[in-house]
Chains A and B, each alone.
Chain A
Amino acid sequence: EDQVTQSPEALRLQEGESSSLNCSYTVSGLRGLFWYRQDPGKGPEFLFTLYSAGEEKEKERLKATLTKKESFLHITAPKPEDSATYLCAVQAGTALIFGKGTTLSVSS
């Protein structure tokens, strides 16, 4: 069964304190791994797509990496505006299978 597990469930950081979020997956025939950001009361907002092991993508303070079994979202020197829930999803067929997310809180 295709499955996505994200850890930790919640993460509290001080501004400037770098860390990583984990997304472990089990899927037959990975077509892509997607990272989304979700703010309260909003829909998920697309961040990155990764297609193959070894691939990396960067956007501002965020960097996503992919191995054959997991993906990491590295947050470098986070700011309070980076506070959100980060969702990971894998695509095997057409559907996206989402993890339950990591809720990040960054305090100044």
Chain B
Amino acid sequence: DAGVIQSPRHEVTEMGQEVTLRCKPISGHDYLFWYRQTMMRGLELLIYFNNNVPIDDSGMPEDRFSAKMPNASFSTLKIQPSEPRDSAVYFCASSPASVNQPQHFGDGTRLSIL
């Protein structure tokens, strides 16, 4: 079975530009999670969805960040406008249930804002 697929794998853009990260979860998984990983703070949850509905976005750092899940097989994380401090690796993960089930991660998008 295909795992979680993220695109692009790398993104380099200038400050102020809009950035869109994409994720395709594992088919049949009801939960989708967006994380950010930095050396300083490790892996942090940004937002998660259940059946395409955002449930908890308390980890989204600012209004510049937004996430959508228009259907069960696609989600986006958007940053507008981007800033250098947004540089990090962004991971998407999915799981079949909210508890007692492991989350399966994609290979991430390495974002660099110049």
> Residues on A close to B: CB < 8 A?
31-32, 34, 36, 41-46, 49, 51, 87, 89, 91, 94-101
Instruction: List the interface of chain B (C-beta within 8 A of A).
Output: 4, 31, 33, 42-45, 48, 55-56, 59, 91, 93, 98-100, 102-108
**Are B48 and A43 in contact, CB atoms less than 8 angstroms apart?**
no
Task: Decide if the interface of chain B is mainly helix, strand, loop or mixed.
Answer: strand
Q: A43-B4, A43-B106, A43-B107 are in contact. Are A91 and B42 (CB under 8 A)?
A: no
Count, A-B residue pairs, CB within 8 A: 51
- 5 A-B residue pairs with Cβ-Cβ distance under 8 Å, sorted by A, are A32-B100, A43-B107, A49-B100, A95-B33, A95-B45
Q: Considering the complex of A and B, which 3 residue pairs feature the smallest CB-CB distances, nearest first? A: A43-B105, A100-B42, A98-B43
Further 19 A-B residue pairs, CB within 8 A, beyond A46-B103, A87-B43: A32-B100, A34-B103, A36-B105, A43-B91, A43-B105, A43-B106, A44-B43, A44-B91, A44-B105, A46-B102, A49-B102, A94-B48, A94-B55, A95-B33, A95-B59, A98-B42, A99-B42, A100-B42, A101-B42
